[in-house]
Amino acid sequence: MKTALIYSEEWNRFDYGREHPLRMERLGLTWRLMQAYGLTTLPQATVHAPTPAAEGEIAVFHDPHYLEVLKAANQGAPPPRASAFGLGAGDNPVFRGVWEAARLVAAGSLLAADLVATGQAERAFHFAGGLHHALPDRASGFCYVNDPVLAILRLRERGFRVAYVDIDAHHGDGVQHAFYGDPHVLTISTHERGERLFPGTGFVRELGEGDGAGYSVNLPLEAYTDSAVYLPAFEAVVPPLLERFKPDVIVAQLGIDAHRTDPLTHLALDVQGFVRAFARILPLAPRLVALGGGGYDVRNVARGWTAAWAALNGVELAEDMPETFAPDLKRFGFTSRKLWDTPTAPVPDEIQRAVSDYVDRQVDAVQTTIFPFHKL
């Protein structure tokens, strides 16, 4: 099995700002942990650094007027009407190099798609990608261009049938928007319920339209959903739909902000549960493009994505992170050398029951509402 890892040191040039929760250093930290484990020199794997995407490649999905404003913002000052395109103080700051960063993230996911489409790799992982909120004409949710959409469109151009599976804590709204009427792209998103978390969407009733009805699938989750509740719900919804849809390629968005320590969300997965969910779809993917996504506790981003890359390659990792990673353990304040999470005290029984009941109702709603479209 041939695999590909996409990474660029160019990410060190970009910074959303000192107070912004999306920290670019999470990418370098992940790379160094992969290096420490020997995962960047696997015999079956190749490592690729993308070159920035051309504007025309991004304009396949994004509005030219929006891209003009994004280019004008590249020097770090908001251009006129920036706020009309979602740019400015808050989630989507204007920083020096913002257009270059957008081109680079698009390029990495397009490269992953091309490597998989041409057979140079059966599985590829671009962990700087997965920015799933951007809309055709505006930035949204820390995302300036929607690289998962661009990757899916590239695969569709080559005639592939694509399933998109998103396990980020936030709903994959931009990807759903792009393919809401398309029966050739199945989008599945598991996420914290929209009443509690940005972007406020992702309800079961958002099931697609026209010929695409039944091909947008959402599994909302209650706060405090842990791996013990999440994994059976995932199993009940995701594999049956993938098996019925029979994709040629799965594009997986691996946001790890559903982790119990993430500062922006309220779910409670551990690293083990995150990796088990990802590993469950691997045998269902004839070809795979994996992308990163959210994750705002940088330590668990590094642990989760390193473990995911190992799983993608069929490699079992030692529980203790390597000694060569010790400088980063100290610098980033890791409280343990363990790759895997240790058990924590369970939530009170009444909360656990409420969480389980809510998720059970959502699974039932998906099976009742969505499954009939697929003759399940």
Q: Which residues are catalytic?
A: 133
At 185 the three-state DSSP class reads strand
> How far is it between the farthest Cα atoms of the chain?
55
State both tokens at 231. Answer: 């994994």
80 φ/ψ angles, rounded to the nearest 5 degrees? -55, 140
State both tokens at 65. Answer: 């007027």
Q: How many helices (H) and strands (E) does the chain have?
A: 11, 8
* Opening angle at CA 24, ends 115 and 32, nearest 5: 70
Query: Which of 169, 248, 183, 239 lies closest to 211, judged by CA?
Result: 183
Query: Which of 48, 61, 257 lies closest to 152, judged by CA?
Result: 61
Distance from C-alpha of 226 to C-alpha of 338, rounded to nearest angstrom = 19
Query: Which of 131, 112, 243, 269 lies closest to 190, judged by CA?
Result: 269
Tell me if 274 sits within 8 A of 168, measured CB to CB: no
Give, as one character, the DSSP assignment of residue 126. E
Residue type, 38: G
14 φ/ψ angles, rounded to the nearest 5 degrees? -110, 145
Beta strands in 3-78 (DSSP E): 3-6, 45-48
**CB < 8 Å & 24+ apart, contacts of 7-11:** 7/31, 7/47, 7/48, 7/49, 7/127, 7/128, 8/49, 8/50, 8/104, 8/108, 8/128, 9/49, 10/49, 10/104, 11/101, 11/104, 11/128
Query: Which of 230, 154, 144 lies closest to 192, judged by CA?
Result: 230
